[in-house]
Structure 1
Amino acid sequence: MPASATACVLVVDDEPDLRTLYELTLLREGYEVVSAPDLAQAREWLAQRRFDVLISDMRLPDGLGLELLRELVEQQRSEKTIVITAYGSAENAVEALKSGAFDYLTKPVDLKQLRTAVQAALQSQRMEPAAKLRRTSASEPVRSAPPPPGGVQALARIVGTSATMAQIRQRIEKVATSMAPVLILGESGTGKELVARAVHECSHRSDGPFVAVNCGAIPDNLIEAEFFGARKGAYTGASHDREGYFQAARGGTLFLDEIGDLPLGMQAKLLRVIQERRVRPLGGVQEEAVDVRLVSATHKDLVALVKSGDFRQDLFYRLNVIGLRTPPLRERREDLPELVLALLQRICAESGQAAPTLSDAARDYLRSRELPGNVRELENLLQRALALSSGSVLEACDFEDQGDSAEAPSRPSHADQMAESPAPPPVTESTGIPADLQSYLDEQERQVLLKALKECDFNRTAAAARLGLNLRQMRYRIQRLGITMPSDDEDTQG
């Protein structure tokens, strides 16, 4: 028998008509439904048996549904709680999520959203050990559920045995079990997207899509269409209907990276979507229900942006229901050896080569670096050392040849590279001197490599020999300069 056929839902609402409507809707889905008009009756039911899902109105004749929620959390009960709040009561919804609610619904309740919320709660419930569902003692402690296989792998990618990193992994497992928005704060290069993916992979939505968006890379005139979709003819060039990020992330997680770069006008529209859980595509008439888990991240100080008026306080309040912080490397230097090993293995696996070892001098060199670019800068240092090294052991000189690369900007993320096409750096006409020497030299190197590759029919081995490079150095330069190859199988040609 399907799990949904035996799942039991407790509905608590003082309005008989609404209570009946919720009951009938859930009965049609095959659930067993029990109802109560107030907190007193709900407590009696909860004392007699366990439920899979509890749905409670926020305001009841004898108190707040929030009281019931807090009692369940204190008793370590296993019920997933969905709170129903009045329209516009954003504070109540946020308070419910912070108190441990799985999700919330806004009146008037959309029955489709009700069914979706209950189904999601049950999916989250089924991820937990069967023993947890069958406990009869309300006072018996409930242990955390093990994450799904994909979640285990995602947590393993968050490298580090320091107390800080262990705490982050534990926090991810805990917050993944609800629909509450998550805000990840941390410096650039500290792995915020890695944490966001782990939250997704550890959740009941792991089978759904994970859509990552760089909020600072979208032109202002396209941002609404990119987020909410657009109907044919909504703007010049809109030749057909197109989905936005919210539609693309349906049933999964929407990751809004660099949320601090979102324009104020778009912040107001995003707030409305979060509160009403509905979007209207650009040029559309009908609104569409939203079924996504929101995870946001930024390296900026949002509190300072709120004070300066550059970020809406109400939006910050809604996004910051659950906060996570990714620490910089200077706060977890003990993780450096493990990080180096993991990064080397990943870089070499991508290029099909054996991972080298590090000499004691090379390890000492890396320990002495400040690494203001954090893990991203460390990865960049290792990539360059691999390209410059000719043996199976990385020496300190392989890193020292990189000069002042620690002062250079961090390597752009994949989303940044996709959003910005390379352009030749400006040259001051009066002197003929480039305004940005490094960018100018990179572009010159890129053109030379492209010319050699084209003349060698994009055979990297032949092009490398022509330029006096080894294959490892050629691969590194192609990757660093963002050169697109016509096929992934060039090296099999020679």
Structure 2
Amino acid sequence: MQQTVLIIDDEPDIRELLDITISRMGLSTIAVGTVKDALQALQSNPAINLCLTDIKLPDGSGLEIVRHIQSSAPCTAVAVLTAYGSTEIAVDALKAGAFDFINKPVSVEQLRNLVKTALKLGRRDTQFDGSSNTRLLGETNSIVTLREQIIKLARSQAPVYISGESGSGKEVVARLVHANGPRSDAPFVPVNCGAIPSELVESEFFGHAKGSFTGAYDHKEGLFEAANGGTLFLDEVADLPLNMQVKLLRAIQEKAVRRIGSNQEIPVDVRILSATHRDLAKEVSQGHFRNDLFYRINVIEVKVPSLRERASDIPLLAEFMLGQIARDWEISKPILDDKALASLQAYSFPGNVRELENIIERAATLCEKNIIKVQDLQLPEKHVGHAGHTENSSAAHLHSASGDLEGYLAGIEQQIINEALELNRWNKTESAKMLGVTFRQFRYKLKKYQLD
């Protein structure tokens, strides 16, 4: 059955261009020029698959149409046409429920990409897809709600900012948003912004032309081009240098990139998802992150709960992890005894789900007769107990630091870094995230303590 696109624009030339372009894609079109005629067309043709509307119309705003479709026909995708550089209007439309936006003057290639992506929505099952290796396990209210949010977010192209502690599963959420959306057959490209040396960030994101700088022996495509048609996941986005934030904002707004050393702009069709364990609003207020970029990537915020906020999910997660270990190691599934399970549920898990995985794997290695006991978990001892213990610890710290505070603190820092590295299997990027420092800061400390 032929799919139908409703076109709403009061400028006859633009309306005709849109009509011709979309008709040549083998689609049926209805073209009108006012809010009134659009609402009438939507009422008369309930089978409309996509609505493409200008924001400024003679008798109202395209936002009225977006809100009407959200309330009365949520299965119909709606995208908006905005004046060049009208970022705030585009963001308002996305928040109101628009699938995506496109700037005037309209690029035919961008229009075709938008239409193809939007029409895939109607052919997808809205049931949550967690059947791949990417899973969001849990039965607590916060996880059930998060799965529902993922289904809604997958139907949009709005930029999503995923907040949460290190190890809580932000990349899992990003992958599921991608897997449940119309871009699922296209690339999902994750990038840790803090792990790229500052002098290579622009080349990594946008690519470079041959000979553009020393060492550029060939043409190279950047991450935006690699993710074309799919999703680009910017993990630890707060670690991007300020000068790169400006260029990233431009690429997101223009939906085009320019390789270093080239004058040619390359159109890219990419959905942006971003995450950080930092307080991004605080980073903005301190001048470390651009307000305009924050406004652009934080159209919708999703919070991933920490593991201690959903401790009742720990038995389910532990069982799943033990099942995986049994399959991967080709052994009988290890069993957690009751006391070990109670200890896990009482522990605060500063490293969240990632830390639980490491603890379970280590315990499965150490346990005897395939039964995991409390001592096999090797959980860190609590640093502060009753008041007397706290006072004794304070006195011990004071005694040890006497005469060499800097050396004593350096020893503690080195020990913490060692523990983080061991916990994360010597993955430096993950260890830096756990300790709340940038990858560059962490690399400096490794060099300082000769741990690299």
Q: Give the shorter-chain TM-score range.
A: 0.7 to 0.9
Matched-pair identity in %: 43
**Alpha-carbon distance in structure 2 between the residues aligned to 1:25 and 1:426:** 58
RMSD: 2.5
SS at match of 1:35: strand
**Alpha-carbon distance in structure 2 between the residues aligned to 1:32 and 1:248:** 32
Aligned counterpart, 1:136: none
- Confirm or deny: 8 A CA contact 1:155 1:169 kept in the other structure: no
Q: Residue 97 in 1 paired to residue 94 in 2?
A: yes
- Confirm or deny: 8 A CA contact 2:162 2:275 kept in the other structure: yes
- How far 1:352 moved relative to its partner? 3.3
- How far 1:364 moved relative to its partner? 2.0
- How far 1:161 moved relative to its partner? 0.3
**Alpha-carbon distance in structure 1 between the residues aligned to 2:134 and 2:119:** 26
**Alpha-carbon distance in structure 2 between the residues aligned to 1:200 and 1:331:** 25
**Alpha-carbon distance in structure 2 between the residues aligned to 1:225 and 1:380:** 35
- How far 1:46 moved relative to its partner? 1.4
The letter for the 1-side match of 2:272 is L
Aligned counterpart, 1:18: 14
Aligned counterpart, 1:56: 53
**Alpha-carbon distance in structure 2 between the residues aligned to 1:238 and 1:198:** 36
Aligned counterpart, 1:448: none
Aligned counterpart, 2:412: none
Aligned match for 2:136, one of 158, 164, 188:
158
Q: Given the superposition, is the C-alpha separation of residues 330 and 376 from structure 1 closer, same or farther in structure 2, using an over 3 Å criterion?
A: same
- Confirm or deny: 8 A CA contact 2:424 2:430 kept in the other structure: no
Query: Where does the alignment leave 5 or more consecutive residues of structure 1 unmatched?
Result: 129-144, 428-434, 444-494
TM-score, length basis structure 2: 0.85
**Alpha-carbon distance in structure 1 between the residues aligned to 2:209 and 2:200:** 13
Aligned counterpart, 1:71: 68
- How far 1:425 moved relative to its partner? 5.8
SS at match of 1:70: helix
Deviations 1:31-73 (A, max 9, x none): 1111001111112211211211111111011111111111111
The letter for the 1-side match of 2:94 is L
Query: Where does the alignment leave 5 or more consecutive residues of structure 2 unmatched?
Result: 384-414, 432-438
**Alpha-carbon distance in structure 2 between the residues aligned to 1:263 and 1:376:** 27
Aligned counterpart, 1:134: none
Q: Given the superposition, is the C-alpha separation of residues 369 and 417 from structure 1 closer, same or farther in structure 2, using an over 3 Å criterion?
A: closer
Residues 13-412 of structure 1 mapped to structure 2, 5 A cutoff? 13-50=9-46, 51-128=48-125, 145-147=126-128, 151-153=129-131, 157-400=135-378, 408-409=419-420, 410-411=423-424
SS at match of 1:238: coil
Deviations 1:356-413 (A, max 9, x none): 0111121122123221111111111112212222321111121238778997325179
**Alpha-carbon distance in structure 2 between the residues aligned to 1:190 and 1:343:** 15
The letter for the 1-side match of 2:91 is V
- How far 1:146 moved relative to its partner? 2.0
The letter for the 2-side match of 1:72 is I
**Alpha-carbon distance in structure 2 between the residues aligned to 1:423 and 1:81:** 48
- Confirm or deny: 8 A CA contact 2:94 2:158 kept in the other structure: yes
The letter for the 1-side match of 2:102 is L
Q: Bigger relative contact order, structure 1 or 2, given CA contacts below 8 A and separation 6+?
A: 2
Q: Residue 416 in 1 paired to residue 416 in 2?
A: no
- Confirm or deny: 8 A CA contact 1:83 1:103 kept in the other structure: yes
- How far 1:117 moved relative to its partner? 0.5
The letter for the 2-side match of 1:153 is S
- How far 1:243 moved relative to its partner? 1.0
TM-score, length basis structure 1: 0.78
- Confirm or deny: 8 A CA contact 1:11 1:34 kept in the other structure: yes
- Confirm or deny: 8 A CA contact 1:211 1:253 kept in the other structure: yes
- Confirm or deny: 8 A CA contact 1:86 1:106 kept in the other structure: yes
- How far 1:271 moved relative to its partner? 0.5
Deviations 1:12-47 (A, max 9, x none): 101111111111111111111110011111122112
Deviations 1:439-490 (A, max 9, x none): 5xxx8xxxxxxxxxxxxxxxxxxxxxxxxxxxxxxxxxxxxxxxxxxxxxxx
**Alpha-carbon distance in structure 2 between the residues aligned to 1:322 and 1:415:** 30
**Alpha-carbon distance in structure 1 between the residues aligned to 2:173 and 2:379:** 33
**Alpha-carbon distance in structure 1 between the residues aligned to 2:282 and 2:173:** 24
